[in-house]
Amino acid sequence: MGFDSRKDLDFLRMAIDVSRRSRENGNHPFGSILVDAEGNVVLESQNAFTTEGGPGHAEANLARNAAQKYDWNFLTGCTLYTSVEPCCMCAGCAYWAGIGSVVFGMTEARLGELTGDHPENLTMDLPCRTVFDSGRRAIEVRGPYPELEQEILAVHDGFWD
């Protein structure tokens, strides 16, 4: 598919829409999509806190579903788009699933400023790049996209109060 920041913004807005629907469904406001090498959205995932508790993150759910549905060669050409930077658990899931690249809108550090010590989101200060750099295969990472921060924050508005 090749890197195109305009396409990144479009796909990130789709992930933000998934995060909005996640919140509307009573879950935490996080969402992700998986885009194949040709630019087709092949999976999406909302957060699943109400059914899976803390580990029900959108990115981890998407990575597990992707690994069950697609083979490794396909997934290395795919990009996971997510509204907020994947935590260390989600980055690990994307790594082990074989997903080739990750694009996020807002950093996990910024999320931590927003959620503070909320018991349902005790954000770790561990950037996904650090997790991926610890692995034995390269994963391309793009983000954050500051021009989307207000759109992402709007979905979180009032949720963590």
CA dihedral 135, 58, 32, 144 (to 10 degrees): -60
Cβ-based neighbour number of residue 138 at 10 Å: 10
Scan for tokens 């997510």, then name that residue. 82
As annotated, the active-site residues are: 59
Q: Which helix (H) or strand (E) holds 155?
A: helix 149-156
| Residues 6+ away with beta carbon under 8 Å from 60 | 89, 90, 93
Three-state SS at 125? coil
Express the helix, strand and coil content of the chain in percent, nearest 5 each: 45, 15, 35
| Residues 6+ away with beta carbon under 8 Å from 14 | 33, 41, 44, 81
